[in-house]
A and B are shown apart, each in its own frame.
Chain A
Amino acid sequence: MKKFQLGEFEEIVMLTVAILYDDAYGVSIKKEIENRLNRSVSVGALQSALKRLEDKDYLESLDKDATQERAGRPKRYYKITALGKEAMQYTKETRNSLWEAIPSVSLDVKFATL
């Protein structure tokens, strides 16, 4: 049952968009992820994720703020939709239920290293 599909990277992008709230556009999202998670993100990977999320209606966008350093091109700001929020919620809950289902011994490091 795949009610909401959200890949790992996609989830990170969604979360970052949510964190940035009012200021979530290409470059800011990229930098936020790079700063917080300490991994490098290519523009291509990010943009294709953003497009997929938008196609799934998890994100919506608005073009504004065409500035000089952007050669007159607008910024595309992303916002999470109600559906997107539901999807994030769902993912989080599935994770939680999975975490809760883990017996405490299985995460005993000593046991594991045996």
Chain B
Amino acid sequence: MHNPPKLFLKFFRWYCHPRLAKPIEGDLMELYDERVKELGKKKADWKFIKDTLLLFRRDIIKPAGGGQRLNNYGMFKSMIKMAWRNAIRQKQFTVLNLLGLTIGISTCFMIGLYIHDEMTFDAFHEKGDRIYRVNQPFIWGDWDRMMASTGPNLATALREDAPAFEEVTRILSLGSLTATAANNGNRSNAFKEDRIYAAEENFFDVFSFKLKAGDTKSAFDDPQNIMITEKTMRRYFGEDARPEETIGKNIEIKQYDNSWKAFSINGILENVPTRSHIQYDMLVSLKSESEMMQAHGWKWIWTAFSTYGLVKEGTNVAALERDIQAIPPKWAPPTTERIFNQTFEEFTDGNPWKLDLQPLSEVYIAGSPRGHSFGPTGNPLFIKIFGAIGLLVLVLSAINFMNLSTARATNRSKEVGVRKVLGSERSTIVKQFILESVLFVLTSTALALMVVQLTLGTFNHLAEKQIEILPFFQNPTFYLIVFAFILTLGFIAGSYPALYLSSFKPIESLKGKIKTGFKGRSIRNGLVVFQFTISIALIITTFFVQKQLTYASNVDIGFAKENILQLHNVEELGFETEALKNRLAANPKFTVVGKSFGVPPFVYSSDRYKAAGPETPVVQLNNLRIDEDYLEVLGLEFLSGRNFDSNRENDKYRVILNREAVKNLGWNVENAVGKSVALASGGEEEHEVIGVAEDFNFNSVKQEIAPLILIHHYNDIVWDYGAGLSFYSMRLNQEAITSTDDLNQLLISLEEEMKQIDPTVPFEYSFMDQEFEATFRSERKMATILNVFTIMAMIIACLGLFGLAAFSAEQRTKELGIRKVLGASVSELAVTFSKEFTRLVLIAILLACPIAWYFVSQWLQDFAYSTPMEVWVFIAATIAAMLIAIVTISFQSLRSANRNPVETLKDE
């Protein structure tokens, strides 16, 4: 048989109206065939070409576009109809699929929201993309570590030497101050303000904090200017205070010498957005510190400032950062020479005094430098961990979907066979399955959004966040992302089932040859193993996280931290507080009372010391001022020597070291007593060591015990004499306090006592064990969230296993029936049935253990005191996972085993 010119035939097929194409083509072929016989191929070809060209006329050509679209629409309609019918027919699978996907997507969305929330901190500043914080090395010791605070002189230097900065502004952290809205000398309305800072005139030129009343131009013109937030205003002036009327009123702030200094309110600020790394209640003009600034303004070591720069538009920040490295060597030498009597090189000891420009968007989340004094900092590790878990849970649920879909292969194989026989191409079948999966994902996403909205409150409570999802619905980008998410996930989850199911050969599938899904089986098993590996690894990890947290809060910190009550703000009562101490000591509810100028776990003050004598190395020691009773409150052991003695006048210039400090100074416990230490910064005075105390944790248990020097509270030759916060710590007499009522009563009486001495001093107290506990807050938070997500992952894995078990039960109905007829007992059948899955879970356990071991050991490295990696945890987690898996399949296995063989075997 001859063929007409292909090109023209194709042309004809292309333009011809589909309704006419086939019969006309038939006519053309018939004529062609005839003509070839009569006239020969050549003439027939020419006539064919003429015919096709003459057929190209209005009535024959298909309408432009219309026909095509109509066709596809019909196909999609049919596909959607098929998807719906299949979903309805197999309700169990549909529910399992939707449940798995919904859990996975909700978890993923929730984590996505959390990460988005963390990543968009400080995003509200209008010039935010041009704001940089200047960080410098920790010049007090570890030069490799960076810190977020600098001396005041850095800003001066930057203004002079770096013209690329449009503005440079400093913020001074003022620590903790007592303030009152003075009312005719009545200062009883006093509050402790921790979030009070001094800011410069150009503060609002850099940052976009908004005002309720007043204006930003003249904000800090006058040294007496103060701005307070709306919330603070209500605190001092009552709930119905009006911003406009509050301007001009006075706030008095207690100074370090306990005098009161008046500030005039110059503006009311809007409450600070929660997602700002600078959190304040009050801002005073930096000019109020002019005396201090004049005395120390040239200094590079008064590291209480944070320096922020606003670069000009189009600045090459990398080049700028390179240029400003020249500033410290140029400007800092006068400071080092005058304060430490050291040249710049001697002071830095060869370490570069580098200046880092950190973009504002990274200040919160970068995790380095650790901490700053203005507000919260994020933890990039948590972001990584949560991000990984969110992705894993999503992958788990996608795998679930693939697994269940391919498990249904037998049910769908006939459908695929019939479709193929009717002329469906493989690509069409692939499209159909992918469409089905996209529809599943679409439904689950809609459900997940609802779940997220419903559970967001609980999540916010756990994570201590204020995330809302509703505002996202007004954001077109959000829709785009969700849309892209649905398509991507639908495509990924649907791809394997689609390729697998569409590969069936119609003859085999219609004959029913595809039984247990031949090759698909090993892949499915692999997927189940993968799911369980991840779930079990997560279980083991959470186990260890819990164990570590328990361990760390129970670790022996060197003294009994329980039952120690700490009274704050003692420094405001003046330096001489013996009267109060005597009254506290007389209270039978306390056994010992001691004073200190810092309380564990917050002893951060440190200085540079050296052993007395020439050419001794400088060592960094933490220091703490205490009275002679404080160590007794802690119940600390002495390794050698003795405690301070109130009867020996000269003890006030003597010091006590801890074991670590003795080691750092190059001595040992036996020979240290009697030797002397001196401050490394110039002073000639030497302090004799009278005792060595056992190491104890004066900081969070996350850190190793640092060297510590204990200084007598009356020691007036050390420079910080008379400054800083002081506390009274009381060990509770447990026999006198038997109930919480007793404790409350005690606190009330304590408050009265304080108020009698000075009513303007805020009454604040804490319990030391709770403070230690609180240093693990963020870890606890993480542990809780981790628990929730682990449960999610486990549920998804179980859903998958359940689905597979149900499928397998259906497949093996006859086998189990025959076994039963031949005499197998119900329990034997259940075991036979479970064996297959138990094996998979066992493999998963073998894989999960080393993975979990690796990650846990990595995490534990962050802790100075870590719980040992005991084997029983692995065994316990293994058994738990095994039990969960067995319970999951037992429903199916028992049902299959209990079925009456007559029913299962009667057909066929």
Give the docked Cα–Cα distance between A43 and B31 (Å).
10
Give the docked Cα–Cα distance between A63 and B23 (Å).
7
Q: Which of B25, B26, B59 has the most CB of A within 10 A?
A: B26
CB neighbours (8 Å) of B53 from chain A are: 44
B628 on interface, CB distance cutoff 8 Å? no
Tell whether, in the assembled complex, residue A51 and residue B26 are in contact, meaning their CB atoms are under 8 Å apart.
no
Which residue of chain A has the shortest Cβ distance to B21 in the bound complex? A73
Residue in B23, B31, B50, B59 whose CB lies within 8 Å of A74: B23
From residue 50 to 72 of chain A, which have CB atoms closer than 8 A to chain B?
51-52, 61, 63, 66-71
B85 on interface, CB distance cutoff 8 Å? no
Tell whether, in the assembled complex, residue B20 and residue A51 are in contact, meaning their CB atoms are under 8 Å apart.
yes
Give the docked Cα–Cα distance between A42 and B30 (Å).
14
Give the docked Cα–Cα distance between A26 and B51 (Å).
13
CB neighbours (8 Å) of A45 from chain B are: 54
B663 on interface, CB distance cutoff 8 Å? no
Tell whether, in the assembled complex, residue A47 and residue B26 are in contact, meaning their CB atoms are under 8 Å apart.
no
Tell whether, in the assembled complex, residue B56 and residue A26 are in contact, meaning their CB atoms are under 8 Å apart.
no
Residue in A43, A51, A61, A66 whose CB lies within 8 Å of B27: A43
Tell whether, in the assembled complex, residue A43 and residue B59 are in contact, meaning their CB atoms are under 8 Å apart.
no
From residue 51 to 88 of chain B, which have CB atoms closer than 8 A to chain A?
51, 53-60
- Residues A47 and B29 in contact in the complex (CB < 8 Å), given A42-B54, A76-B23: no
Distance in angstroms from A46 CB to nearest chain B CB is: 9
B22 on interface, CB distance cutoff 8 Å? yes
Tell whether, in the assembled complex, residue B55 and residue A71 are in contact, meaning their CB atoms are under 8 Å apart.
no
CB neighbours (8 Å) of A69 from chain B are: 1, 29-30, 33-34
CB neighbours (8 Å) of A43 from chain B are: 24, 27-28, 31, 51, 54-55
Consensus secondary structure, chain B interface? helix
Which residue of chain B has the shortest Cβ distance to A51 in the bound complex? B59
CB neighbours (8 Å) of B58 from chain A are: 48
CB neighbours (8 Å) of B29 from chain A are: 69-71, 73
CB neighbours (8 Å) of B57 from chain A are: 44, 48
Tell whether, in the assembled complex, residue A51 and residue B60 are in contact, meaning their CB atoms are under 8 Å apart.
yes
Give the docked Cα–Cα distance between A66 and B22 (Å).
10
Give the docked Cα–Cα distance between A66 and B58 (Å).
27
From residue 12 to 70 of chain A, which have CB atoms closer than 8 A to chain B?
25-27, 30, 42-45, 47-48, 51-52, 61, 63, 66-70
Tell whether, in the assembled complex, residue B55 and residue A47 are in contact, meaning their CB atoms are under 8 Å apart.
yes
Tell whether, in the assembled complex, residue B22 and residue A73 are in contact, meaning their CB atoms are under 8 Å apart.
yes
A85 on interface, CB distance cutoff 8 Å? no
Number of interchain pairs (Cβ within 8 Å): 77
CB neighbours (8 Å) of B24 from chain A are: 26, 43, 47, 76
Distance in angstroms from B856 CB to nearest chain A CB is: 68
Tell whether, in the assembled complex, residue B27 and residue A26 are in contact, meaning their CB atoms are under 8 Å apart.
yes
Consensus secondary structure, chain A interface? helix
Give the docked Cα–Cα distance between A70 and B33 (Å).
8
Give the docked Cα–Cα distance between A71 and B26 (Å).
7
Tell whether, in the assembled complex, residue B59 and residue A48 are in contact, meaning their CB atoms are under 8 Å apart.
yes
For the complex, count residues of B whose C-beta is within 8 A of A: 24
Tell whether, in the assembled complex, residue B60 and residue A48 are in contact, meaning their CB atoms are under 8 Å apart.
yes
Which residue of chain A has the shortest Cβ distance to B50 in the bound complex? A42
CB neighbours (8 Å) of A25 from chain B are: 23, 27
Tell whether, in the assembled complex, residue B25 and residue A71 are in contact, meaning their CB atoms are under 8 Å apart.
yes
Tell whether, in the assembled complex, residue B22 and residue A44 are in contact, meaning their CB atoms are under 8 Å apart.
no
Give the docked Cα–Cα distance between A25 and B31 (Å).
12
Distance in angstroms from A59 CB to nearest chain B CB is: 13
Which residue of chain A has the shortest Cβ distance to B16 in the bound complex? A47
Give the docked Cα–Cα distance between A73 and B56 (Å).
20
- Residues A74 and B22 in contact in the complex (CB < 8 Å), given A47-B60, A52-B59: yes
Give the docked Cα–Cα distance between A36 and B51 (Å).
21
Tell whether, in the assembled complex, residue A47 and residue B22 are in contact, meaning their CB atoms are under 8 Å apart.
no
CB neighbours (8 Å) of A27 from chain B are: 27, 30-31
Give the docked Cα–Cα distance between A104 and B381 (Å).
112
Give the docked Cα–Cα distance between A71 and B2 (Å).
10
Tell whether, in the assembled complex, residue B23 and residue A44 are in contact, meaning their CB atoms are under 8 Å apart.
no
- Residues A44 and B26 in contact in the complex (CB < 8 Å), given A27-B31, A51-B59, A51-B60: no
Give the docked Cα–Cα distance between A52 and B20 (Å).
12
Q: Mark A74-92, 1 if CB is under 8 A from B, else 0.
A: 1110000000000000000
Tell whether, in the assembled complex, residue B55 and residue A74 are in contact, meaning their CB atoms are under 8 Å apart.
no
Give the docked Cα–Cα distance between A38 and B27 (Å).
20
Give the docked Cα–Cα distance between A42 and B52 (Å).
10
CB neighbours (8 Å) of B20 from chain A are: 47, 51
Give the docked Cα–Cα distance between A43 and B57 (Å).
11
Tell whether, in the assembled complex, residue A42 and residue B27 are in contact, meaning their CB atoms are under 8 Å apart.
no
Tell whether, in the assembled complex, residue A44 and residue B51 are in contact, meaning their CB atoms are under 8 Å apart.
yes
CB neighbours (8 Å) of B50 from chain A are: 42
CB neighbours (8 Å) of A73 from chain B are: 22-23, 25-26, 29
Tell whether, in the assembled complex, residue A63 and residue B22 are in contact, meaning their CB atoms are under 8 Å apart.
yes
CB neighbours (8 Å) of B59 from chain A are: 47-48, 51-52
Give the docked Cα–Cα distance between A53 and B60 (Å).
13
Give the docked Cα–Cα distance between A68 and B33 (Å).
10
Distance in angstroms from B907 CB to nearest chain A CB is: 41
Give the docked Cα–Cα distance between A108 and B85 (Å).
79
Give the docked Cα–Cα distance between A105 and B80 (Å).
75
Tell whether, in the assembled complex, residue A75 and residue B23 are in contact, meaning their CB atoms are under 8 Å apart.
yes
Distance in angstroms from A24 CB to nearest chain B CB is: 12
Q: Mark B477-514, 1 if CB is under 8 A from A, else 0.
A: 00000000000000000000000000000000000000
CB neighbours (8 Å) of B27 from chain A are: 25-27, 30, 43, 47, 70, 75
Tell whether, in the assembled complex, residue A26 and residue B26 are in contact, meaning their CB atoms are under 8 Å apart.
yes
Which residue of chain A has the shortest Cβ distance to B28 in the bound complex? A43
Distance in angstroms from B681 CB to nearest chain A CB is: 102
Give the docked Cα–Cα distance between A76 and B29 (Å).
13
From residue 87 to 102 of chain A, which have CB atoms closer than 8 A to chain B?
none
CB neighbours (8 Å) of B55 from chain A are: 43-44, 47
From residue 1 to 37 of chain B, which have CB atoms closer than 8 A to chain A?
1, 20, 22-31, 33-34
CB neighbours (8 Å) of B23 from chain A are: 25-26, 61, 63, 73-76
Give the docked Cα–Cα distance between A25 and B25 (Å).
12
Residue in A26, A44, A74 whose CB lies within 8 Å of B60: A44
Tell whether, in the assembled complex, residue A70 and residue B26 are in contact, meaning their CB atoms are under 8 Å apart.
yes
Q: Which of A25, A63, A76 has the most CB of B within 10 A?
A: A76
Give the docked Cα–Cα distance between A98 and B817 (Å).
90
Q: Which of B24, B34, B58 has the most CB of A within 10 A?
A: B24
Give the docked Cα–Cα distance between A7 and B30 (Å).
28
Which residue of chain B has the shortest Cβ distance to A45 in the bound complex? B54
Q: Which of A25, A45, A73 has the most CB of B within 10 A?
A: A73
Distance in angstroms from B46 CB to nearest chain A CB is: 13
Distance in angstroms from B7 CB to nearest chain A CB is: 16
CB neighbours (8 Å) of B26 from chain A are: 26, 66, 70-71, 73-76
Give the docked Cα–Cα distance between A70 and B23 (Å).
9
CB neighbours (8 Å) of A66 from chain B are: 26
CB neighbours (8 Å) of A26 from chain B are: 23-24, 26-27, 30
CB neighbours (8 Å) of A48 from chain B are: 57-60
- Residues A44 and B30 in contact in the complex (CB < 8 Å), given A26-B23, A73-B25, A76-B23: no
Which residue of chain B has the shortest Cβ distance to A76 in the bound complex? B23
Distance in angstroms from B471 CB to nearest chain A CB is: 57
CB neighbours (8 Å) of A75 from chain B are: 23, 26-27
CB neighbours (8 Å) of B1 from chain A are: 68-69
Give the docked Cα–Cα distance between A67 and B34 (Å).
14
CB neighbours (8 Å) of A52 from chain B are: 59
Give the docked Cα–Cα distance between A42 and B28 (Å).
11
Which residue of chain A has the shortest Cβ distance to B37 in the bound complex? A69
Give the docked Cα–Cα distance between A27 and B54 (Å).
16
Distance in angstroms from B76 CB to nearest chain A CB is: 27
Distance in angstroms from A63 CB to nearest chain B CB is: 6
Distance in angstroms from B320 CB to nearest chain A CB is: 76
CB neighbours (8 Å) of A67 from chain B are: 30
3 smallest CB-CB distances across A and B, nearest first, come from A73-B26, A76-B23, A26-B27
- A44-B53, A75-B27, A76-B23 known; 6 new pairs, CB 8 Å cut-off, are A26-B24, A26-B27, A45-B54, A47-B20, A69-B29, A73-B23
- Can you list 5 pairs linking A and B with CB atoms under 8 Å apart? A26-B26, A43-B31, A44-B56, A48-B60, A73-B22
